[in-house]
Chain A
Amino acid sequence: MERFEKELSKKRYETAGIALVFLFLFLFIVGPPLSIFPIVIGNWRDIYVTVFSDPFFGQVGRGALRWEMILVALSRSFQISALVTLIDVCIGLPVALILARYDFRGKQLVDTLVDLPLAVPTAALGFSLYLFWGSNDGISGLLGLDSGLVSRGPILIIFTHIAFTYPYIVRSLKEIIRSVDQTLEYAARTLGASSFTVFRTVVAPQIRSGVLAGAILCFTRSLGETGATLIVAGSFYTAPLLVVEYRQLLMIPPAAFLSMILITISTFLLSSLRFSSERFGLQIRGAWPRAERLLSGRIQRGLRDTVSLSLFALLVLIPSSFIFTYLLKWWPGSPYTGNPQLGAFYQVFVAPDRKWPALWSSILISFKVASLSTAVNIVAGIPMAFILVRRNLWRVKGLLDALVDLPLTIPTSALGFSFFLFWGSKGFNLIKPGFWMIVLVHIGFTYPYIVRPLTAVVEGLNIPMEEAARTLGASPLTVFRTVILPSMKQGILAAAIMAFTRSLGETGATIVVMGLTKTVPVLIVQWVESLALPAAAFACTLLISISLVLLLVLRYVLKWE
């Protein structure tokens, strides 16, 4: 083993290894989304016809062009994401503040509950929200209404997006508030500033770039979401949904064109985040001592905390866990007529359309896809993390960082579609939609979830310890196996669980490349569409439970030191 490692530690193998890592990055991660540009240009004639001159309602001159439809979808997506981000920051900031600064009984519980939607695959989350707001089993039942309170459409989409982006914003705000030195706040207090003034003049300037980063993360997540949106959209459509629809109707040119636009916009958003977060200003001059003192009162603060926590409960916590109540109610049969054929149990296990075998095979596929893509990314991601941290990359560092993070912001349906083009008919024509293409897409979008945390782990490694092993006779690869890997174990496990959970819950990327192979979230979407709601609730609960266990393991792993 050691002799073999010694041989492999030689320079030429090292160069070959680095070449492989980059080949992987370009071929499997950034190649497909970037290749959308040449593909669009190469097929411009088709695209021009279908997008700009072919009216999709027949009559020339009267029907809307697809281009107009695309524009509508894009502007809706942007409006929704902007609104969601704004509401998220407003209701998330006080909760982040509470979690970062206060100590109270049950804080650990609130902390876990805030992370809860993270564990819920978005398709399941969307379904749960639909059941809560939109069906007569949910809140309208409590209010004594006959039909759902909020029907499918833009408002329900906004509610759904708030619920699943909420943990992202609270987590990032919490971390950044925690990193602010509290003695500065004490100093401002002794100088006569009320607590609200302290927040505005002392805390806010220190956390603004973090808030912006969190907001952009939230915005891109909302912009790119497919699974939940599919369920709660009804006949309404957003840009990612349009990609899915075009793909399902086999209208490749407009789908390619829209994907290109989405990829461009999200890449631009990501790079603007990189370059502008430092310069983002916030007006802190001026003072309104009386008004701010009023806001700082004990009662007002209590009100703020109560309101933000209630909003969290109402908008996030209860709707996203409502599905469990629903399933219990509908398990034996319809709670209204008592007809067992409408119950989840009958639908899944007894009904002649054999839903259980379909669900079981989807679960197996989901697990295979998640395991394979996670394993591949661990193998490819560890060396990349080392290259990013240890190599002297000079100016290329920023570019490489951007490339690694590229899949993070691209809407997954657009990303998936670019993989479909790249490996399929418009590109290499090597792989047909189906299992292997799903695996490739999942490798593509989980890559940053592996590499990012691993770079942090590599940065934290103790180099002198590696040097100690070298002087004791270990070749670089032996050092890697005997010293570096044991020190990285937890970090790798944490990154793997994160990527695995993400893969398990993904809908948009899968739906555009899947062929006849289905993962669980896609199955849920289809069951909801075919109105087998109790069966869908059962599948959701199963998926959520699995993800929840994974999340709890993740928390345990991160605390374990």
Chain B
Amino acid sequence: MTDVKLMNVKKRYGEVIALDRISLHVKDGEYFVLLGPSGCGKTTTLRIIAGLTAPDEGEVYIDNKDVSGIPPENRDLGLVFQHFEIFPFMTVYENVAYSLTIKGVDEEEIDKNVYHTLEVADLLEAADKYPQELNTPELQRCGIARAITKGSQLLLLDEPLGSLDVDARERFRFTLRRLVKGRGFTAIHVTHDQLEAMAIADRIAVFRRGKIIQVGDPLELYERPATIFVANFIGETNFLEGIVERRNEGTTLRLRGDFLIKAGESLLEPGTRAVIGVRRENTLIVPSDDGAANSIPGMVIRAVFLGKIVRYTVELENGDFIEIKQPTRTEKAFKEGEKVHVALPVEKVLIYPYPENMQYELALK
């Protein structure tokens, strides 16, 4: 039973508030991802859990035990570093054996353990090599192997895939998740890559500027992003501004240019400003004579063919721009300059109250 709880954790560096009273509960056996742009506090959170950084306020519980003041070496966890930090003056074997060697475990036991881990990490052949002789994926596996030899059930990973190239990164997501699930680890994984987070996580916490904006499973974050920021950060979303016209069976908005668009249920009062968001892949582009419901007329100003999808930019008649991604279908291709309608499926339209600072919500940091 390994779970991690953070209660009202606060950390500041001089004037900068790195973490603003965050609370979090990572459950036993969960693959949990801390996701956010750089400088959002996700790495600080991981370091606080590991004991490498002391919080200014709040408590951290590992297995329901308050670990405040316990130095990292006495916490039962393994940490995989972004740049792996393999000891350059030790062989791969010695690196992986490190945690056991310094604990004074007898050599036979170490041998058994290390070779087993090396086998799992596919590093048996590299056992006697020095880190300088390894390539990046091997170093990464060595970092993970070293962290799990310690025998802890809690595995912390700080951007573990960040140094790998795109191909290796995608393969490794799968390997990592299988390792964690196979051994019943609880994993906390920090990344700024939303695709990685979606692919690997049971649950994700979205961080921004020292706060947790939303916690949920990947589908939940994708389908019901809590704020404009989350909708923008996870997936690609078109936003349009308007004023709530009426509220019955969903919410109807009057956009600029007096176009009426229907969105889902909301608690917004008629007359208040609001923002609607629709994912690019959920936005439909239809011929202008189609008479589609919930649509706005416009003109294709750019069509980019990307192989299996086509990306359109449409300038609406009210002057707003919409980006659309559609699977390539040769019989229904639109040309630049063609008049079209942009249809927004009601159940896919997200609606938010107009934020205090729209620029801030849309910024990706």
Residue ranges of A at the interface with B (Cβ–Cβ < 8 Å): 1-3, 6, 462, 464-465, 467-476, 478, 482-483, 486-487
Closest to B88 in A: A487
Name the distance in Å between A156's Cβ and chain B's nearest Cβ: 50
Provide the bound-state CA to CA distance between A322 and B90, in Å: 48
28 A-B pairs in the complex with CB atoms less than 8 angstroms apart = A3-B104, A464-B81, A464-B83, A467-B50, A467-B52, A467-B79, A467-B81, A467-B85, A468-B79, A468-B85, A469-B87, A469-B98, A470-B73, A471-B51, A471-B52, A471-B73, A471-B77, A471-B79, A471-B147, A472-B102, A472-B147, A473-B74, A473-B102, A475-B73, A482-B98, A482-B102, A483-B87, A487-B88
Bound CA–CA A476/B71 (angstroms): 9
Cβ-closest chain B residue relative to A470: B72
Return chain A residues, CB-CB under 8 Å to B77. 471
Closest Cβ of chain B: how far from A392's Cβ, in Å?
12
- What residues on B are CB-neighbors of A471 within 8 Å? 50-52, 72-73, 75, 77-79, 147, 156
Residues of A within 8 A of B87 (CB): 465, 468-469, 483, 486
CA distance A470 to B82 in the complex (A): 16
A470 and B71 contacting across the interface, CB-CB below 8 Å: yes
CB distance from A478 to the nearest CB of B (A): 5
Nearest B-chain residue to A489, judged by Cβ: B89
* Complex contact A473–B99 (CB within 8 A): yes
Contact with A along B142-154 (1 / 0, CB 8 A): 0000110010000
What 1/0 flags go to B108-150 for Cβ under 8 Å of A? 0000000000000000000000000000000000000011001
* Contacting residue for B98 out of A462, A467, A472, A476, CB 8 A: A472
User: A462 to chain B: which residues have CB within 8 Å?
Assistant: 85
Q: Are A465 and B146 in contact (CB under 8 A)?
A: no
What residue in chain A is nearest B151 (Cβ atoms)? A473
Q: Does B103 contact A (CB under 8 A)?
A: yes
* CB pair B103 A473 closer than 8 Å: yes
Complex Cα–Cα for A471 and B89 (A): 19
The binding surface of chain A is classed by DSSP as helix
- Give every chain B residue within 8 A of A2 (Cβ-Cβ): 102-104
Residue from A464, A476, A478 within 8 A of B102 (CB atoms): A478
**Chain B contacts for A486, CB-based, 8 A:** 87, 89-90
| Size of interface on B: residues with Cβ below 8 Å to A | 28
The residues of B that contact A468 with a CB separation of less than 8 Å are 79, 81, 85, 87, 146
Knowing A472-B99, A473-B99, the reply to whether A467 touches B72 (Cβ < 8 A) is: yes
Residues of B within 8 A of A473 (CB): 73-74, 99, 102-103, 150
Tell me the minimal C-beta distance from B217 to chain A in angstroms.
28
Q: Are A465 and B85 in contact (CB under 8 A)?
A: yes
Residues of B near A470 (CB, < 8 A) are 51-52, 71-73
Chain A: CB-nearest residue to B83: A464
Q: How far is the CA of A469 from the CA of B95 in the complex (A)?
A: 10
Per the bound structure, the CA–CA distance linking A483 and B52 in Å amounts to: 17
Task: Specify the chain B residue showing the minimal Cβ separation from A481.
Answer: B102
Among A464, A471, A474, A476, residue most surrounded by chain B Cβ atoms (within 10 Å)? A471
- Name the interface residues of B32-88: CB closer than 8 Å to any CB of A: 50-52, 71-75, 77-79, 81-83, 85, 87-88
Nearest-neighbor residue (CB-CB) of A462 within chain B: B85
Residues of B within 8 Å of A482, CB to CB, are 98, 102
Query: A472 CA to B84 CA in the complex, in Å?
Result: 13
Task: Give residues 179-229 of B contacting A (CB, 8 Å).
Answer: none
Best-surrounded residue of B52, B72, B78, B83 (most CB of chain A within 10 A): B72
A1 to B101, CA, bound (A): 11
Q: Choose one: B75, B78, B85, B89; the contact of A464 (CB below 8 Å).
A: B85
The closest CB in chain A to the CB of B158 belongs to: A464
Bound form: Cα–Cα A483–B73 in Å = 14
Residue of B nearest to A5 (CB): B102
Tell me the minimal C-beta distance from B102 to chain A in angstroms: 5
Chain A nearest Cβ from B147, distance in angstroms: 7
> In the complex, which residues of chain B have a beta carbon less than 8 angstroms from the beta carbon of A476?
71
Give, as a whole number of angstroms, the nearest-CB distance from A546 to chain B. Answer: 30
Output the least CB separation between A9 and chain B (Å). Answer: 8
Chain A residue, CB-CB nearest to B98: A472
Residues of A within 8 A of B52 (CB): 467, 470-471
Alpha-carbon gap, A471 to B52, bound state (A): 8
Tell me which residues across on chain A come within 8 A of B51, comparing CB atoms: 470-471
